[in-house]
Amino acid sequence: MAGIEIDGLGKRYGALAAVDDVSLSVREGEFLTLLGPSGCGKTTTLRCLAGLEKPDAGEITIGGDAVTSVPEQIFVPPEKRDMGMVFQSYALWPQMDVFQNVAYPLRRRRVRRPEVQRRVGQTLELVGLAALADRPVTRLSGGQQQRVALARALVSRPRVVLYDEPLSNLDAKLRATMRVGIRDFQRELGTTAVYVTHDQVEAMSLSDRIVLMKDGRVQQVGTPRDIYERPRNWFVADFVGYENFFDADIVERAGDRAIARLDGGEVALQCFGGPAGRGRVRLCVRSTALSVLPAEERPGDRTNTISGRVRDSMYLGGQIEHLVEVAGTVLRVRGADPDPAGRTVSPGDAVELRIPAESIVVLDADDEAPEPTTRGKQDNLDRVGSP
């Protein structure tokens, strides 16, 4: 095992800054995921870490040893970094059987035959392929080939294992199975792992911490729960599935609680990372956190309640989504169908929206809106939630 330090990493392709001044620390034995949309710089960062790309700026140390330093002109080649890597394409040798593929890193290092037999046997047992050691890899299923690639990365017990979207070629059922397998292997071996994906479900379920990236820069680093519940800016909130954004004014503060006023009522809210003091802010909340009440059930205490009108309703199979207009802003509200309390609302109905204070996140009103294509696989994430 070994910790990793990345300091001021930069990589350009002409005028494009693929990685722009990225600094990260990965603790020994940690499972860290680089998450973000296509083109955010996560794979380039991983390739710089692996030694497959030479950065234009910055330094990388592994276990205290410098493997890349642009200022000091240090560049340790990939094969000498003591890393294993699982590629998106698996990169198996079709002319070899399972045993030979897994044994290849050891034979390149001239490990003695008895030790090769022992280590490969142990590793194939770990990934559940011991019975298939003599089978050609061309006769394996996609999930089995993925486990061969994983075994090959683990067999030499490297200090660090890198994963470059290893599950993207598998179907949904196999991805779910292999997520559990990868996490179990990492926990058993205690290896430091850096994982790249655009899939939020993978990131949330596998990671000790997540690094969310955009345009070559780090947007937020935190635990899966931190990222999911406490996004620091509009891009992060949008990417992890906050569908509803609306402007408000903070009119009162008491510690970390605040009163935000918007057209339609007053909302008492818990502030997570919002700007200090009073003034204009942007609120965001998930569609599943809101609840709809018919107007005749308007509560006497209006705290956390705003008035609106249903514009449309869509059945989603076990769920129903209402589009509710509030002071010119359309909010999405998603809940169980049928409603557990037996309530029904229809397009055109006046309604009351209840917004739990702990579900509201406060952002800077001047924060730049993300592009509409940045959101990842949100429907899956809504079903999984935080670990």
List the CATH number of the domain containing 205: 3.40.50.300
Tell if the pTM clears 0.95, that is, is over it. Answer: no
Both 136 and 255 in one domain: the answer is no
Strands 192-197 and 31-35, bridge-based pairing: parallel
pLDDT at position 273 is: 52
Among 229, 251, 280, give the residue marking a domain's end.
Answer: 229
Both 161 and 187 in one domain: the answer is yes
pLDDT at position 275 is: 66
Alpha helices in the chain (DSSP H): 42-50, 98-108, 113-126, 142-154, 172-189, 200-206, 224-229, 234-239, 378-384
Q: Is residue 104 one of the residues assigned to a domain?
A: yes
pLDDT at position 189 is: 85
Q: Is residue 387 one of the residues assigned to a domain?
A: no
**Contact of 62 with 2, CB cutoff 8 Å:** yes
pLDDT at position 380 is: 40
Q: Is residue 304 one of the residues assigned to a domain?
A: yes
Both 174 and 221 in one domain: the answer is yes
Both 198 and 143 in one domain: the answer is yes
**Contact of 281 with 275, CB cutoff 8 Å:** yes
Both 266 and 205 in one domain: the answer is no
Instruction: Identify the helix (H) or strand (E) that includes residue 301.
Output: none
Structural domain including 188 reads 4-229
Q: Is residue 87 one of the residues assigned to a domain?
A: yes
Both 31 and 166 in one domain: the answer is yes
For 237, the token pair is 């909130």
Query: Distance of CA 145 to CAs 5, 98, 151, 336, 381, Å?
Result: 32, 9, 10, 40, 27
The number of distinct structural domains making up the chain is 2
Exposure pattern of 18-55 as b/e (b: 16+ CB <10 Å)? bbbebebebeebbbbbbbbbeebbbbbbbbbbbbebeb
**Contact of 50 with 193, CB cutoff 8 Å:** no
Both 147 and 218 in one domain: the answer is yes
Both 247 and 201 in one domain: the answer is no
The per-residue pLDDT string of the chain (387 residues; one tens digit each, 9 = 90 and over) reads 689 999 999 999 999 999 999 999 999 999 999 999 999 999 999 999 999 999 999 999 999 999 999 999 999 999 999 999 998 888 899 999 999 999 999 999 899 999 999 999 999 998 889 999 999 999 999 889 989 999 999 999 999 999 999 888 888 888 888 888 888 888 888 899 999 999 999 999 999 999 999 999 999 999 999 999 999 999 999 999 999 998 888 888 877 788 888 765 666 666 655 666 678 888 999 999 999 988 887 776 777 888 899 999 999 988 999 999 987 889 999 998 877 777 888 999 999 998 888 899 999 887 766 665 445 444 444 433 333
**Contact of 250 with 365, CB cutoff 8 Å:** no
Both 135 and 246 in one domain: the answer is no
pLDDT at position 270 is: 61
Q: What is the CATH number of the domain that holds 324?
A: 2.40.50.100
Q: Is residue 135 one of the residues assigned to a domain?
A: yes
Both 189 and 337 in one domain: the answer is no
